[in-house]
Amino acid sequence: MKLLDKTVAAEIALKLLKIEAIRLQPENPFTWASGWKSPIYCDNRLSLSYPEVRTLIKDNLIKAIQTEFSEVEAIAGVATAGIPQGAILADALGLPFVYVRSKAKGHGMENMIEGKVTPGQKVVVVEDLVSTGGSSLKAARDLKDAGFEVLGMVAIFTYGFDVASHNFQEAGIDLVCLSNYSSLLPQALAKDYIDDETLASLVEWRKDPSTWGK
C-alpha cells in the first residue's frame, strides 16, 4: 500500500473535508455495515459534484497510473463509486473501460464484468475508498478470472488499516492511494475541524476500530 505524494495527500484530505466528503464526528459515531462504530465517514462520490476537486483527483489518479502502471491497456472501475472515477480516467487516457459488479447480474447475460472482456489485457483497477480491501480485492480476482492481467489498483482514500495492507500483500496486488487517514488528521486539526481531545479519540479508533466505542 503506497501513498502517491505526501503533499498531494494533505491537499486532497483538506479538499474532502471542505466539501464534507469526509465527516468526523466521534461524539456521534457512524455505524458501518460491518457493525463497527466509526468516528469517520467517507463518501468520495461527493467529489464528482465539485469540478475543482474532481479535476484534482483525476489528474493525480492519472499521475499514479502513469508512474506506477505505465503498461496499462484498460481501466476497470469497481461498482459503484469506482465506476464514474474509472470512466473519467479511461476517457482522459484514451483507454477501454469496464466495470466490475459486486455480484453477477441476475438476468440477461448475467455479467459480472460489464464492457468488452479482452483476455490478456493489462488493466488497472480504480476504487474510491479502501477500508479492509475485501470488496476491492474481490473485484481484482473477478477480473483475473475473466482473463485480464491486473497490474494494480489506484484509490482516492484509504483508512490505512493493517488488515488491508496484509490483504493486498497476500493477494499480490499493488495499491497506490492519493490520500489516507494519517494525512487527514493533521489537516483536520490545523484547520479546526477537530480539537486535541477529538484527535486523541480519532487516533485510538485507528489503533483498534473493531472495539472502539464499545
> Would you list which residues are annotated within the binding site for 5-phospho-alpha-D-ribose 1-diphosphate?
101, 105, 107, 127-135
SS3 labels along 66-126: HHHCCCCCEEEEECCCHHHHHHHHHHHHCCCEEEECCCCCCCCCCCCEECCCCCCCEEEEE
Q: Is 155 helix (H, G, I), strand (E, B) or coil?
A: strand
Contacts of 192 (CB under 8 A, 6+ apart): none
Residue ranges for the binding site for orotate?
A: 131
> How far is residue 84's CA from residue 92's CA, in Å, rounded to a whole number?
12
Output the known binding site: 101, 105, 107, 127-135
